[in-house]
Amino acid sequence: MDQYDSETDTDEQDQPLLNRQTDEVERAPACCSSRYALSLLSCYGFFVAYALRVNLSVAMVDMLNNTDASGNTSTSVCPAHFNPPRPKHNRTASVYDWDSETQGWILGSFFYGYILTQIPGGYLARKYGAKWLLGLGILGTVVFTLLTPVAADLGAGYLIAVRVLEGIGEGVTFPAMHAMWASWAPPLERSRLLTIAYTGAQLGTVVALPLSGQICFYLDWTWVFYIFGIVGIVWFILWALLVSNTPNTHPRISEQERLYITTTLKNELSPSGDHVPWRSILTSMPLWAIVVAHFSYNWTFYTLLTLLPTYMSNVLGFSIKENGALSALPYIGCGLLSVMGGQLADYLRENCFYRTVVVRKVFSLIGMIGPAVFIVAAGYTGCNYTLAVAFLTISSSLGGMVASGFNINHLDIAPSYAGILLGITNSFATIPGMVGPVIARALTKNNFIEEWQSVFYISAGINLFGAVFYTVFGQGVVQPWAVQNPHTHGN
């Protein structure tokens, strides 16, 4: 419940404040606005970030020799799909004899670098601005992505090192983006703006998975990294030319929009400076509620993100060409529900007067319990390909609801320190990406369906725990340590 829910007069005080906040200045139109332009360009940026993150998951299927390290022929549990007839699979690139354990370490190595720059990313974005930190972080990931084929030829150790460096570059993206939105997102537009921006992550996954499969099939797996690397360079050029850290420094923003944004945020942001209330942050139960929820949700998310192509190939028997397209289906639904959920969440807060904490908790429950149920169900579909893909798609789609739940709750409880808070929560939420693929591949050495059921049960159990914990301890008000004069904003 809210921090002040025990006080009976809280809700009566919240609504006048909500009205005063929006009535002080005329709302700037969304069409052709700088804040929505930032949201769209951020969407492109996260598209690049996730395309570079997941393309290895599909390429890995094509990078492996047809026989494993012990000489056994690799086959799928379910009958392989050979219809309709298709042209010959191009296999001009090198292939490697990596066992399942090595594959797990390669797929998880990205997150060993990713975790290192989460908290520093949030702090540096607050102190120096988010624009160049985020831009150069993704550019660094682009550069190392282009070096991936060379690293793979040198050996698994070199590939792991390159993936770690990619993770270091990409680790600043979410904390920096949250820090930027602290200056750009009016409170009653947060769900809309942030879900548009972060839907780029789903779009990157949706496009990268099937396109990577096509590239592997018609060209070879090396081109997966070259093509997406070029797309990333184009984004960096646009970002460098068009984005500013704050509305006050943007050269093309209208005066109406600048006043609208700064006026609606003026009571929420603490004075700028180097002081960060670390003790208050680290002892804040609302923050730890987000940490637990973020960790739990990401366990399921990263399990599917990194291992779904492997499951499609080794269990369901789909070819590399089919694999990418089918692996992308879950993220199409996730992206759609994320955007629609953002619109609904802000509508419920602004027009139906639901408190922020209620909206965040309900959306988090739907986005965590739903995926848990359907990922377990997917493990019992056997070789019913249609049902398996349908359940996995529903599982990931429902997960999109958390984009308007705990995922942006940092901006509700401490907008001035949102980047730092996200750095903290994302550090813990990166651990599933580090250990999840390793544990999953260790449990599925034989690729039996029963082994994958264990993987799905673990993911579901962790998800359910996170949902309950966040429901009990999550809050939706600006915390006293985050501002000089504590207050709430329509909770």
| pLDDT at 99 (0 to 100) | 82
Cα 463 to Cα 367: distance, rounded to the nearest angstrom: 10
Unique residue bearing structure tokens 């520093």: 120
pTM for the model: 0.72
| pLDDT at 170 (0 to 100) | 92
Give bridge partners of residue 96 from the DSSP assignment.
64
For 429, the domain range is 10-74+97-482
Cα 190 to Cα 188: distance, rounded to the nearest angstrom: 6
Q: Give the distance between the most distant pair of CA atoms in the chain.
A: 72
| Tokens found for residue 76 | 């799928």
Cα–Cα nearest to 231, from 212, 216, 246:
212
Q: Which amino acid is at 254?
A: S
| pLDDT at 5 (0 to 100) | 38
Whether 30 is in a domain gets the answer yes
Whether 79 is in a domain gets the answer no
Whether 92 is in a domain gets the answer no
Whether 3 is in a domain gets the answer no
Whether 491 is in a domain gets the answer no
Unique residue bearing structure tokens 């298709």: 86
Give bridge partners of residue 73 from the DSSP assignment.
67
Whether 15 is in a domain gets the answer yes
The segments of the chain whose pLDDT lies below 70 read: 1-25, 66-76, 80-91, 267-274, 319-325, 484-491
- Count how many Cα atoms sit within 13 Å of the Cα of residue 36 in the half-sphere of its side chain: 10
- Which alpha helices (H) appear in 379-474, and where do they start and end? 385-399, 409-413, 418-443, 449-473
CATH number of the domain within which 251 lies? 1.20.1250.20
pLDDT > 70 fraction of the chain, expressed in percent and rounded:
85
Whether 423 is in a domain gets the answer yes
| pLDDT at 369 (0 to 100) | 94
In degrees, to the nearest 5, what angle opens at C-alpha 458 toward C-alphas 454 and 460? Answer: 115
Whether 45 is in a domain gets the answer yes
Domain count, the chain: 1
